[in-house]
Structure 1
Amino acid sequence: MSSIDRLLSNYARQVRLPWSAHTSGKQRVWFAVYPPAEERRVRARLPQFEALTLEAHHGWTTIDLTDLLPKWISGHEYREGIFSEPEQFSANSELEDLAVERVRYGCMREDVDATSVVAIMGLATLFDFMRVSSLIERVEDCVRGRLLVLFPGEYAGNVYRFMDARDGFNYMAVPITSTESFITP
């Protein structure tokens, strides 16, 4: 069984577990953790994540952050300078603010309720421009059902490392990994 098949299997078990309505925002966040090299394979299998969610009688919404950086740069007044000297470029908090706005909007849509899964994909495109931990902390209060973060990185010892390169962060989210029979209720 491939690592993505195991991730899907572990996700299927997690999404079928009973959901408590009395959990904090932090506990409503699930991290589907996979090696960064598997990003394209996970994207290709996204319809299977959706199908498993619908089979478990939950709603599904996808928020794709892939185009956030290129759209932001293309509309930036100093884009020519950014392209001529990219080493001087810093997105500061502007990009993170846009990501937060997009995720909040997705979580607050009319068709999203306490039985829905909102999946965030495309985080790899934002590597080195923002911190995933900060994004999640800023949106956790608007999660009504569950927030599934497709996370290219690693999870070990309750620490998540984005793209296997940054210092890890300890977050209270539920990890779903591609480890054989790994599941945390």
Structure 2
Amino acid sequence: MIAYLIGLSAGLVPALSTGPVFLTLVQNSIDHGFKKAVYFIIGVALTDTSIILLTWLGLSQLSEGSEPPAELSIGGGALLILFGLVFIFKKPQDQQPATSSSGHLQKFGLFTQAIMLNAINPIIWGFWAAISNYAITEFNNTASELLFFAGVLNMVWVTDFLKAYYAQKLNKYLNEKFKKYLRIGIGSILVILGLKLIIEFYLL
């Protein structure tokens, strides 16, 4: 139980961060509503869990503290730029009700977007590798390590649901002009973060 509580505390770090995943989650919740944003959250949760398993089981060099592969920096930067440009040039949602098939495609798109955004982001890999290293060195049995991971992930999942829920609530107070500038602002931040990843790779 102590390991679980420590995990909850460690989970506050990603839970309170305002990185690309947070920005994209908030924007998707405003654009598509809480119920559809849940599919984005599920995609993030699935990827986080998979990365933890990879680093914890020693299937990634990141668990030994080495530098993330170059492909992650370049690919992650390019992906952030792409998502940023989509937000910047995205047109407002039309007010016509979506068909069942388009709704399913939208949910699948949000789920896939979350997986891509997480899986190819070296910052995400670096964080979960550090979490895995801490668990391995701090706890002396598998049960405690799993409880620690459960605490971290539970904190992240709960706060992600809260972020999406309250972002949707905020939506009704925003006019279309403000939402347009919000999309452009978030998109610009994602582009800058993507460029930062790529530039840092070539400079370091």
Shorter-chain TM-score range:
under 0.3
Per chain length, whose mean CA-contact separation is higher, i.e. which structure has more relative contact order (CA < 8 Å, sep 6+)?
Answer: 2
More helix by share: 2
TM-score where L is the length of structure 1: 0.27
TM-score where L is the length of structure 2: 0.25
- Which structure has the larger Rg over C-alpha atoms? 2
More strand by share: 1
